[in-house]
Amino acid sequence: MSGDLAVDVRAVSKVFRDDKGRDVQALREVSFQVRRSQIVALTGRSGCGKTTLLRIIMGLEHPTSGTVDVDGEPVHGPGVNRGIVFQNAELLPWRTALGNVEFGLEARRLPKAQRRETAERAIELVGLKDAAHRRPHELSGGMRQRVGIARALAIDPAVLLMDEPFSALDAQTREKMQAELLEIHERTGKTIIFVSHDIDESVLLADRVVTLVPDPGRVHGVLDTAFGASTSLEERRGSAQFAQRRHELLQLVHGREIQQQDGVSV
Amino acid sequence: MTALADQAAPVEDETTLSRKIRSQRRGGRDRLVTTAGVVVLLIIWEIAARQVDPILAAPPSAVFTALIGMVGDGSLPTAVWESAQPFLVGYVLAIVVGVPVGLLIGRFRLVEAAIGWLVIAGYAMPMIALTPVFMLWFGLGFAVKAAMVMTMTVFAISINTWNGVQNVPRTLIEVGTAFCTSQPRILSQIVIPSVIPSIMTGLRIGIGKAVVGIVIAEFFTAIGGVGGVIVDAGHSFQPDRMFAAVVVLMLAAVALTSLVGLIERWLAPWNRSIAGGAR
Ligand SMILES: Nc1ncnc2c1ncn2[C@@H]1O[C@H](COP(=O)(O)OP(=O)(O)OP(=O)(O)O)[C@@H](O)[C@H]1O
Ligand SMILES: [Mg+2]
């Protein structure tokens, strides 16, 4: 076993049965690997199976065929070594922001005071200290998403899975959260897999970008985009590397468009 | 809510305040409409009742006088107390049995297969048909009244709870699964809170059912209670007394139902803000 691998997705296919009993192939033979402490972005247009893939890695969905290993162990269900940020936050409506973050911690047998303290730190980290005691319906969409991020961060998982974590945020908050993510990553060395529709974001944050194409969802290309460690967002944004990789990724995505047009018989 | 509001907290507090004022104003309007509805009904009743034989019907003025008299001589308070005791016992028993049964049927397919049909059948069953049997089993006193109330109410509560469990968002249960929450905690922290509104609906419907239950029991056993007063007044051609007792029943049902509503607002304050409804 290569001890360096955090996540190993091997030939994963997923077929859903829709409401009318027809089979929908969401993923076909998807393979990619994530090394420990790597940040990987999953991109691709709507419906190409990004969420499905993330849920399979989380263990919330079982692949029709293929396997996923996390830290060398095959995934059979959710585990405390993985944390997930859902695409729609999915907070418990009857709990406050802080209470929702605490919920994630309740499966661990921590003393109550310590649990509260950990949750408060996570809430502070996402900039919601003043809103800690509001319920989800009293929060904006972006604030809810941040609570979701805090809930996943609080349990301190080795692998952090995030489904479009920043897409509901305004530009300012988003930038702050992106910087925060890099900071957390540097401090903790977590493995992070996130879904993003944003080319710039993918290139800026990720060490490696996996692009998927739909019908059925499969890997189209993998681009290594690693910046050196501890380069700030501004440094990255201003660098020639960024422009270069952004261009490469656009070409990869663009190439997909051309390929697809080829496939259409007009 | 916009990103702007999320940075400027004072602005949000102001909107909360104005929302509160607006909802109070709306509450005032609703109360006015309710009062107007009651007044119109009373006027129509008064006019209509004056047209017919006083043995057949009593106008509100006469009913009101009878009511005062019955309170004065203590007969009504005694009757209400006699009905209230078995009512409460039966109703509480129905909650204690109905809610857990509903939760179990909703959560476990095996339990649903075993007793789901029974609950549906019980809900549809006309209670009157069972009254003679109940009298054989429970005699003619307190027990039969409580049993009738309980049987009338328990199925409504179970069915609503069951239905609520089936409508718990799958995505929220998944949150529990993803964070490795144990089954008992998923039940107590996710399923039950999301079922509370449905349980309260069952309790609200249950009040009406329980009132019917106590009256049926008192009609048949003809011993005491508000139902007994209605039967006696009917037999002795005193429509004013009869209507007075009916009005008391109606008022009690309305008051108890609002009480359940208050409890719901206290138990599940988030629900009013996330659920749609009359504006
Ligand atoms: N439970 C399900 N039952 C049937 N089909 C499903 C189910 N979940 C997903 N699908 C299908 O699988 C495909 C991939 O869905 P998925 O949610 O993974 O896409 P996505 O890449 O996350 O899209 P988006 O960017 O819009 O979030 C879609 O065609 C979708 O219709
Ligand atoms: Mg998705």
Q: What mean pLDDT is predicted for residues B47-64? A: 80
Paired residues of B253 in beta bridges: none
User: pLDDT tens digit string along B148-169?
Assistant: 999 999 999 999 999 999 999 9
Report DSSP state, residue B74.
T
Neighbours of ion ligand 2 (CB under 5 A): A 51, 87
**Both B34 and B140 in a single domain?**
no
Beta-sheet pairing, A39-43 with A208-213: parallel
Residue of A nearest to B269 (CA): A94
**Both B244 and B192 in a single domain?**
yes
Query: Is the distance from CB of A225 to CB of A245 less than 8 angstroms?
Result: yes
Instruction: Measure A214 CA to ligand 1 centroid, in angstroms.
Output: 10
Pairwise CB contact (< 8 Å): A92 & B172: yes
**Both B224 and B262 in a single domain?**
yes
CB nearest A92 (choices: B182, B190, B268): B190
Burial bucket for residue B72 (CB in 10 Å: 0-12, 13-18, 19+): exposed
Query: Is the distance from CB of A156 to CB of A101 less than 8 angstroms?
Result: no
Burial bucket for residue B120 (CB in 10 Å: 0-12, 13-18, 19+): middle
Choose the residue to mutate in A19, A51, A58 for probing ligand 1, maximizing ligand atoms within 8 Å of C-beta. Answer: A51
Instruction: Measure A26 CA to ligand 1 centroid, in angstroms.
Output: 6
Amino acid at B94: A
Chain A residues inside the 8 Å CB shell of B181:
103, 106-107
Q: B124 in contact with A at a CB cutoff of 8 Å? A: no
Q: What is the nearest CA distance from A151 to chain B, expressed in angstroms? A: 9
Measured CA to CA, the distance from residue A109 to residue B146 in angstroms comes to 45
* Minimum-distance ligand 1 atom for the alpha carbon of A215: 29
Measured CA to CA, the distance from residue B110 to residue B106 in angstroms comes to 10
For residue A83, pLDDT over 90 is answered with yes
- Helices A112-125, A141-154: crossing angle, 10 deg rounding: 130
Q: Which of residues 183-202 of B touch A (CB under 8 A)?
A: 185, 189-190, 193-194
DSSP-assigned states of every residue in A179-208: HHHHHHHHHH--EEEEE-S-HHHHHHH-SE
* B56 within domain boundaries: no
* B259 within domain boundaries: yes
Q: Which residues line ligand 1 (CB under 6 A)?
A: A 16, 18, 24, 26, 46-52, 87, 217
Q: How confident is the model at residue A260 (pLDDT cuts 50, 70, 90)?
A: very low
Q: What mean pLDDT is predicted for residues A77-86? A: 92
Query: Is the distance from CB of A120 to CB of A131 less than 8 angstroms?
Result: no
For residue B69, the tally of other CB atoms under 10 A from its CB is 14
Residue of A nearest to B177 (CA): A78
Query: Is the distance from CB of B12 to CB of A130 less than 8 angstroms?
Result: no
Instruction: Measure A24 CA to ligand 1 centroid, in angstroms.
Output: 9
Q: What mean pLDDT is predicted for residues B8-12? A: 42
User: pLDDT tens digit string along A113-132?
Assistant: 999 999 999 999 888 999 99
pLDDT of the residue at B7: 41
The structure tokens listed for B29 are 């309007």
Query: Is the distance from CB of A216 to CB of A26 less than 8 angstroms?
Result: yes
For residue B208, the tally of other CB atoms under 10 A from its CB is 16
* B58 within domain boundaries: no
Largest CA distance in chain A: 65
Query: Is the distance from CB of B155 to CB of B168 less than 8 angstroms?
Result: no
Token pair 């029974």 in the structure block, residue: B118
**Both B43 and B114 in a single domain?**
no
Chain B residues inside the 8 Å CB shell of A130:
9
Measured CA to CA, the distance from residue B17 to residue A84 in angstroms comes to 36
pLDDT of the residue at B8: 39
**Both B136 and B165 in a single domain?**
yes
**Both B38 and B130 in a single domain?**
no
pLDDT of the residue at B86: 93
**Both B70 and B42 in a single domain?**
no
* B218 within domain boundaries: yes
* B1 within domain boundaries: no
**Both B26 and B139 in a single domain?**
no
Choose the residue to mutate in A16, A161, A212 for probing ligand 1, maximizing ligand atoms within 8 Å of C-beta. Answer: A16
Chain B residues inside the 8 Å CB shell of A93:
194, 270-271, 274
**Secondary structure class of B262 (helix, strand, coil):** helix
Question: Count of residues for chain A?
Answer: 266
pLDDT of the residue at B149: 93
* B109-113, Cβ contacts within 8 angstroms, sequence gap of 24 or more: B112/B162
Give CA angle at B252 (B74, B228), nearest 5°: 50
**Both B154 and B198 in a single domain?**
yes
**A252 or B278: which leads in pLDDT:** A252
* B276 within domain boundaries: no
Q: Which domain holds residue B24?
A: 11-51
Tell me the percentage of chain B whose pLDDT exceeds 90. Answer: 37
Beta-sheet pairing, A218-224 with A65-70: unpaired
**Both B156 and B189 in a single domain?**
yes
pLDDT of the residue at A101: 95
Chain A residues inside the 8 Å CB shell of B276:
none
Residue nearest (by alpha carbon) to ligand 1 atom 6: A16
For residue B56, the tally of other CB atoms under 10 A from its CB is 9
* B277 within domain boundaries: no
For residue B279, pLDDT over 60 is answered with no
Report whether the peptide linkage leading into residue A216 is cis, meaning its omega lies within 30 degrees of zero.
yes
Choose the residue to mutate in A13, A20, A22, A50 for probing ligand 1, maximizing ligand atoms within 8 Å of C-beta. Answer: A50
As for how many domains chain B has, the answer is 2
User: pLDDT tens digit string along A2-38?
Assistant: 568 889 999 999 999 988 889 999 999 999 999 999 9
Chain B residues inside the 8 Å CB shell of A160:
none
For residue B20, pLDDT over 80 is answered with no
For residue B21, pLDDT over 70 is answered with no
**Both B215 and B237 in a single domain?**
yes
DSSP-assigned states of every residue in chain A: --TTEEEEEEEEEEEEE-TTS-EEEEEEEEEEEEETT-EEEEE-STTSSHHHHHHHHHTSS--SEEEEEETTEE--S--TTEEEE-TT----TTS-HHHHHHHHHTTS---HHHHHHHHHHHHHHTT-GGGTTS-GGGS-HHHHHHHHHHHHHHT--SEEEEESTTTTS-HHHHHHHHHHHHHHHHHH--EEEEE-S-HHHHHHH-SEEEEEETTTBEEEEEEE-PPPTT--HHHHHHSHHHHHHHHHHHHHHHHHHHHHHHHS--
Residue nearest (by alpha carbon) to ligand 1 atom 12: A26
Largest CA distance in chain B: 73
pLDDT of the residue at A259: 47
Q: Which of B98, B85, B106 is nearest to B150 (CA)?
A: B98
**Both B41 and B69 in a single domain?**
no
Instruction: Measure B90 CA to ligand 2 centroid, in angstroms.
Output: 50
Q: How confident is the model at residue A210 (pLDDT cuts 50, 70, 90)?
A: very high
Q: What is the nearest CA distance from A2 to chain B, expressed in angstroms? A: 27
Answering whether pTM is above 0.80, one says no
Pairwise CB contact (< 8 Å): B270 & A135: yes
Question: The CATH number of the domain where B200 resides is what?
Answer: 1.10.3720.10
* B57 within domain boundaries: no
